[in-house]
Structure 1
């Protein structure tokens, strides 16, 4: 069964919509140091979404839309070519995508994020669309959803998880598109680990946080073999979350009602209903 919306005819998409989860990968187009392509986040989240849809098949019908290539990335502009959207623009774009999917018959939509700067906004869009349109909408970043599995696999031993253009992301691209990796520079060997799920007690926006080289830790510590393993783990965790989301009670008024609890599922994803 095909999993990409762009490859389906209108009739097949219409037949499957009501019982399927529509996954919208949300990426970014931003500088990733001197060694990685600006499409790093887009490549990773699109691959994970496609692989997760395949893994979930048989338990959940998952249909993946074309990825959203741009995100909120203004803080990367000083370091090199970056295409960024204002939060109002990204919010409107994602809301319209979800609205279109609902008008097309989908009753479960999941925003799968691949860029840290988008994380808060996709949760806001999920809540608003869920409340406004009366459908189940999920939102989560792939590394948060796969945090435990990735940590157990050593993803934060040599660099931050997920970091930016450091050992983790460089490993992913080395596995996905080795032809696009250009001699990773040697960065700082010491780094501060991110807390579980990339969640802190409160957020601080520091305009000087990206005053360095444009990457968060040592890219030369990357490994293509590790990257392939981490991509598989991320896709597996996302597939499990999508299967859980597909089976979740709640949904449109007049079917099962809005019986799902509101708010976040700790360490996994946000669901608005």
Structure 2
């Protein structure tokens, strides 16, 4: 029978019990609620959730039963505390939440778990949590940072020069993907019409919290309003497009489906 439901939240209790017995793959999308630029919705977790659904549908069509756990919409704190209305969790809190989510699933034998991360501030925390589970329970829980993987596809899609000039927070790849997946929520009329190199503490900004000292990258504890303009860092969002977003989405979905297939094919092999 073809799979018709993809979000775990849509399953009845009896449907969930039946699905668990078949050892499906579970995707856990993580995101954030922060400044993504004056033109983008603050809830980038919406994009992580939308990407998870596309991966689950295509994986199911390929014969791999796949469901999506409820998205975790709040990321770990990093650079965006300055944003009015933004909500973030402390790193210790988000780590505890992810641990509890994973253990709730592992308790019932759901070991085919994949984290789809949509927030850079989660990366170290995810590694720490999944590493501890690997050492304690010998279960591999892979993850991939959606937007970092997407950034790697940019040169192939739009050329190395445009990729370099458009890549960054508030620009590519997230703005292009948003234009494709959530066009009604992106305010293209509010895309900044000027773009200049930024400086802070007398040095050129390299990225959030990173300054360039004659080619050496120096970390500083500044929040994003010191090293970006209204949430836009070094990338130029005027170079983003729905077409680019469609290409990035296609490649991300293909990557996600390959990871689902690989996990199923690994079966119950021991990790260590």
TM bin (shorter chain)? 0.7 to 0.9
User: For residues 8-47 of structure 1, what are the alpha-carbon distances to aligned partners after superposition, in whole Å with 9 as ceiling and x for unaligned?
Assistant: 12222222225212111000000112111111x2122111
User: For residues 121-156 of structure 1, what are the alpha-carbon distances to aligned partners after superposition, in whole Å with 9 as ceiling and x for unaligned?
Assistant: 112111122333443322221244456544422386
The aligned runs of 1:129-140 (5 Å cut-off) are 129-140=133-144
User: What SS does the aligned partner of 2:116 have?
Assistant: strand
The aligned runs of 1:45-194 (5 Å cut-off) are 45-57=48-60, 58-145=62-149, 148-154=152-158, 157-159=161-163, 163-182=168-187, 183=189, 184-188=191-195
Distance in 2 (alpha carbons) for counterparts of 1:204 and 1:114 = 25
Q: Does 1:243 align with 2:256?
A: no
Q: Does 1:220 align with 2:225?
A: no
Distance in 2 (alpha carbons) for counterparts of 1:26 and 1:189 = 31
62-71 vs 170-179, which moves further: 170-179
Distance in 2 (alpha carbons) for counterparts of 1:173 and 1:77 = 23
1:22–1:62: 8 Å Cα contact kept in structure 2? yes
Distance in 2 (alpha carbons) for counterparts of 1:145 and 1:168 = 9
Which has the larger Rg?
2
Distance in 2 (alpha carbons) for counterparts of 1:173 and 1:96 = 30
Q: Per-residue deviation at 1:80?
A: 3.9
Q: Does the C-alpha gap of structure 1 residues 205 and 93 become closer, same or farther in structure 2, counting only changes over 3 Å?
A: farther
Unaligned runs of 5+ in 2: 199-204, 208-216
Aligned to 1:14: 17
User: What SS does the aligned partner of 1:111 have?
Assistant: strand
152-161 vs 10-19, which moves further: 152-161
Q: Does the C-alpha gap of structure 1 residues 157 and 240 become closer, same or farther in structure 2, counting only changes over 3 Å?
A: farther
Q: How many residues align?
A: 245
Query: 1:208 pairs with 209, 222, 225, which one?
Result: 222
1:53–1:64: 8 Å Cα contact kept in structure 2? yes
Distance in 2 (alpha carbons) for counterparts of 1:104 and 1:138 = 19
Q: Does the C-alpha gap of structure 1 residues 226 and 146 become closer, same or farther in structure 2, counting only changes over 3 Å?
A: closer
Distance in 2 (alpha carbons) for counterparts of 1:187 and 1:237 = 34
TM norm structure 2: 0.79
1:30–1:73: 8 Å Cα contact kept in structure 2? no
Q: Per-residue deviation at 1:166?
A: 1.0
User: What SS does the aligned partner of 1:185 have?
Assistant: coil
